[in-house]
Structure 1
Amino acid sequence: MQSEHPSQQEVVDPRPLVGEPLFLDLLNTRWVHDGVLRDLLDSTGGLAIWLRSAGLDDQAAADRETLDATVQTREILLALLDQAPSPETMDALNRVLEHGALHYRLGPDGSEEHPRTDSPAWLPSWLAATDYLRLMTASPDRVKSCAHPACVLHFHDTTKNGTRRWCSMAICGNRAKAARHYDRTRTNVQPPN
């Protein structure tokens, strides 16, 4: 369906992996394409794409304040996941968490949870930080980095046996299979005498 106003047409999320839990989806705003590190959060326009993709576009503005908070939180989460958590990174995540709290209300269907932050700009960051705590408490061994050495993406392994290795079998898994095939065929070819 065409939008009435061309300026309101939605831009497609260019990332190769979307739909992961929120904190991993935030980490995956950085990816490698053709050997170059891409960053969706290099502008407020990219932030708008991520907010829409994450279902947060009606809760947070794609402005400079939200972008700065979101990028700062992404860097903290990357440091916590890719390195041994240091007291500094733990303190940094706690400062993000201090921006909000979960409030409960009684609604028509029972208990309702409503996150609130001291500034709307911090809501996406606070939600990603609380999602990090949830996943790292529930299933830390299922939060993984893609096994392909040139990939920077992360995923939540929901396979039954927990043996997923690739962000996407179609992308990184196939690259690895192709590289193994190339190595096998190259070593099987005898040089001419």
Structure 2
Amino acid sequence: MDTTSAEAAAEKATNIRIKVGFPLSPNTSDATAIAQYYSRLSIDKADFFGNIQRAAAFEEYLEWQKLGKQRDKETWEMVPSEVNAYFNPPSNEIVFPAGILQDPYFSKDWPGYLNYGAFGAVAAHELTHAFDSAGRLYDQHGMLREWWTNATSEAFEERRLCLSEQYSNYTVDDGQGGRVHVNGNLFVIYFIYHIYHLTSV
């Protein structure tokens, strides 16, 4: 990576917005805001399947309401209870719902090495998405544009293909029938834990 692209990548990394716990829109601490948000959703305690249909239609309605409007940066693409995380390229943000901030990924009572090993793997994985073959296409403002130099883009593609070939024959079962690739994640976790260890001694 040449100096121009490296500086732009550092700026992108510095500007990644981190969201943790729950969305701020709608305001979940304000009962009136919640009631207004769900005002178009009708729930009938005697109609389970109808409730599911109406909830799905309501979610679709909310998606269509976003069309042609500036995105509310406080909304999320996941519910807070979901045990997952994601990087959103157009917003240059990483989101960690409350659901993943618990055992077996995180605990305030665990020693640092366990949190860095478990939750750190998740965080590092999401961070790599900011610079993978899709995330690299968005700059620090979430704009879809070529912000790397041609030389850096070509070198990236060459290395991406090399890494893909290297690991195409290696599979690690993730317990759900999928494959896990850990090259970038392990390096980032080790590096961050090393810094943590040095500063906490």
The reply to whether TM is greater than 0.5 is no
Q: Which has the higher contact order (CA 8 A, sep 6+)?
A: 2
Instruction: State the TM-score, normalizing by the size of structure 2.
Output: 0.26
